[in-house]
């Protein structure tokens, strides 16, 4: 059986699949040619990340396809229900990238509270001629310890963010329509740990009480954060979105940054991805990354291995 990993797969994933009796193809096929390639090469398994879209046209026109796998959490680039109605297995790896995304959230938080994103732009330009001026400009940093971190969306990634926040000494509060409470286990390097119970609250309370807000929600039709939500936040709040583009109204975000309601934002995802708005890219109060939440070597190894294990389990009788 053949596997097309169109958006790539880790060496550990390839090794596991080959050991399981699969042939793995890592050729990058253009979106408009995916269906033809699958049919021409009798592909049984299509693996994607966020780049390749698997819509009804591919599902309808590829009779050899048995499994569609998403390396990561969100599956908004796949017509999941339609594929399953057609008898195709659709799988993802919800746990594999949680820690990597959570660490990126805090990279943005640390960058924001110490102005690193802006300092790294200006130091090469003015560091030799305006050192004291820049020192004064970035002198009003903020510590995360003791502050309130509000998490909107308390799934696996939200809980991983909570662990880091608790480890830093932050007060962590959370909101989720489907999670009432959770026990967060905070592990330390020497095998010790603490358990912290977090009971979720209405989103209005998260907006009202948080010093920093991190979003971990799936793609959806409307905004989660817009003008009304910004108005409910504390003055000087920091906000990070490493979930999906389009859950924050970027026009309202820019306005909130300009009027001081929001101190800084950290964005890994964008409304107009992969061509984010210039106003967002150029704003001095936004820390930017190009959708790399799960892009660590460790996460990609876990993703590849987890996909391989699921595929082998689903198709072992046919290998």
Of 72, 76, 101, 83, the closest CA to residue 304 belongs to 72
Alpha carbon separation from 258 to 224, 251, 254, 263 (Å, rounded): 20, 11, 6, 9
Instruction: Mark whether 117 is an active-site residue.
Output: no
Instruction: Mark whether 84 is an active-site residue.
Output: no
Instruction: Mark whether 271 is an active-site residue.
Output: no
Task: Determine if the peptide bond prior to 241 is cis (ω within 30°).
Answer: no
Q: What is the C-alpha to C-alpha distance for residues 266 and 315, in angstroms, rounded to an integer?
A: 41
Radius of gyration of the chain (CA): 22
Task: Determine if the peptide bond prior to 157 is cis (ω within 30°).
Answer: no
Q: What is the C-alpha to C-alpha distance for residues 182 and 162, in angstroms, rounded to an integer?
A: 10
Alpha carbon separation from 43 to 39, 58, 82, 175 (Å, rounded): 7, 12, 19, 41
Catalytic residue selected from 49, 117, 244, 283:
244
Catalytic residue selected from 23, 126, 272, 298:
272
Report the relative pairing of strands 89-92 and 67-70 from DSSP bridges.
parallel
| Residue pair 187/193 in contact by the 8 Å Cβ criterion | yes
- Find the farthest-apart pair of alpha carbons in the chain and give their distance in angstroms, rounded: 69
Alpha carbon separation from 11 to 18, 68, 136, 201, 305 (Å, rounded): 10, 19, 47, 42, 9
Catalytic residue selected from 283, 291, 302, 306:
291
Active site residues: 244, 272, 291
């Amino acid at each position: 059986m053949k596997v097309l990993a169109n958006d790539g797969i880790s060496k550990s994933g390839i090794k596991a699949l080959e050991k399981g009796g699969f042939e793995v193809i890592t050729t990058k096929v253009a979106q408009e040619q995916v269906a033809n390639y699958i049919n021409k090469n009798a592909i049984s398994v299509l693996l994607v990340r966020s780049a390749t879209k698997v819509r009804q046209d591919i599902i309808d026109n590829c009779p050899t396809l048995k499994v569609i796998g998403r390396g990561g959490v969100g599956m908004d680039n796949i017509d999941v229900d339609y594929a399953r109605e057609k008898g195709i297995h659709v799988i993802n790896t919800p746990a594999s990238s949680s820690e990597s995304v959570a660490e990126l959230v805090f990279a943005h938080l640390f960058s924001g509270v110490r102005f690193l994103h802006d300092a790294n732009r200006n130091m090469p330009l003015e560091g030799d001629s305006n050192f004291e001026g820049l020192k004064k400009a970035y002198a009003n940093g903020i510590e995360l310890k003791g502050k309130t971190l509000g998490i909107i969306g308390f799934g696996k990634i939200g809980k991983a963010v909570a662990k880091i926040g608790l480890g830093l000494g932050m007060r962590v509060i959370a909101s989720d329509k489907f999670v009432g409470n959770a026990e967060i286990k905070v592990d330390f390097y020497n095998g010790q740990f603490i358990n912290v119970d977090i009971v979720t609250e209405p989103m209005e309370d998260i907006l009202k009480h948080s010093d920093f807000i991190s979003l971990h929600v799936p793609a959806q039709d409307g905004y989660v954060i817009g003008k009304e939500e910004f108005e409910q936040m504390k003055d000087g709040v920091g906000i990070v979105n490493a979930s999906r583009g389009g859950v924050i109204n970027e026009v309202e975000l820019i306005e909130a940054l300009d009027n001081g309601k929001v101190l800084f934002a950290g964005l890994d995802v964008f409304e107009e991805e992969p061509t984010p708005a210039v106003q967002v890219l150029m704003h001095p109060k936004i820390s930017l990354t190009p959708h790399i939440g799960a892009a660590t070597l460790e996460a990609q190894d876990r993703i590849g291995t987890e996909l391989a294990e699921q595929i082998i389990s689903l198709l072992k009788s046919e290998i």
